[in-house]
Amino acid sequence: MPIVKNFFIGLSNNPFLNKTAKEIGPMLGANKVVAGNTIEALLNTIERLNSKGITVTVDCLGEFVVTEGEAIQSKDQILEVMYAIYNNSLDGHMSIKLSQLGSEFDLDLAYRNLREILLKANEFNNMHINIDTEKYDSLFDITQVLDRLKGEFKNVGTVIQGYLYEADTLVEKYPELRLRMVKGAYKESDTIAYQTKEDIDENYIRLIEKRLLNAKNVTSIATHDDKVITHIKQFIKDNNIEKNQYEFQMLYGFRTDLAEKIAGEGNNFCIYVPYGDDWFSYFMRRLAERPQNLNLMFKELMKPEVMKKAGVVTGIVAAFGAASALVYRLFKK
């Protein structure tokens, strides 16, 4: 469904919709996919997941960082969350986008900010810091910064997007790093990425198998796809992959029952937990991956109590929701 995917990716980059959604996020049911916008709410979420044998990786949401002051503010928020996790003896680590730290206008600033975070992470039980991938245009910057840091720090890793042709090279390049394996959420050209679900799935599974057989660190298998999960479980069993060499990973608020089931089977499991007000771009990218998730927000939006509280602003977003639902229905297979 390339047209639907492009539609939601476009919405994720709309500053007006991001600003509007930030103002009424809680009323739209954003708390179903984002762990609140206060430290207390975040800690409650982490504690609840930890009690079920699930660790977390926290993403302090932030889009459109365009000044040094905003980049430093993002860094400080990340440090605040890290301190809270450590101080409360919770099981969690951080997932960070370089763009939050200023990479789109000053790559060296982003490097300095990330290095400061890693230095503090070393004080917090060597907390893992993951560099999340973004659009393909940022991949060179990510690997450049990662290559500068990996010699100094052992608690840094990144994400491999399975739909990229370059993914093979990256898996081979970083066997000693903790890597998260994903299919990929952005719309990329056929000159750099596989386009069909069949090709993406095939390459994704092949890369995970390759990584599990050759890695010297943890492989995070990040997917909600039942077929992929079932296949990889059997591959792990058939090849006697040790438990400490892998974990399954899912997004907060999505397929909760399945996540708890997999964790309950004795597998290492991690939930990707977004935190903060800037939830709209994050959620639109999740819709680009799986447009069926639109129902989660739209059902909340149409509740009478929500409409009453949010008034005109909700009407605007309701119109967006209706249009989104229409696009999905028109182009779904």
Residue numbering of the annotated binding site for FAD: 161, 183-185, 197, 223-224
Active site residue 168: no
Active site residue 180: yes
Q: Name the β-bridge partners of 182.
A: 161
Contact 281, 63 (CB under 8 A): yes
Contact 270, 55 (CB under 8 A): yes
Contacts 24+ apart (CB under 8 A), 116-123: 116/75, 116/79, 117/75, 117/78, 117/79, 117/82, 118/149, 118/152, 118/153, 118/155, 118/156, 120/79, 120/82, 121/82, 121/94, 121/153, 121/155, 122/153, 122/155
φ, ψ (nearest 5 deg) of residue 319: -60, -40
β-bridge pairing 55-60 and 269-275 = parallel
Q: Which residue, among 261, 264, 209, 218, has the nearest Cα to 237 in the 3D structure?
A: 209
What DSSP character marks residue 56?
E
Annotated catalytic residue: which of 59, 115, 148, 180?
180
| Residue 97 φ/ψ region, left for φ over 0, alpha for ψ in the -120 to 50 degree band, beta for the rest | beta
Annotated catalytic residue: which of 76, 91, 115, 132?
132
Give me the residue label for tokens 């089931």. Answer: 261
Per the annotation, where are the binding residues? 97, 161, 183-185, 197, 223-224, 285-286
Per the annotation, where are the binding residues for substrate? 97, 285-286
Report the C-alpha gap between 193 and 82 in whole angstroms.
34
Catalytic positions are 132, 180
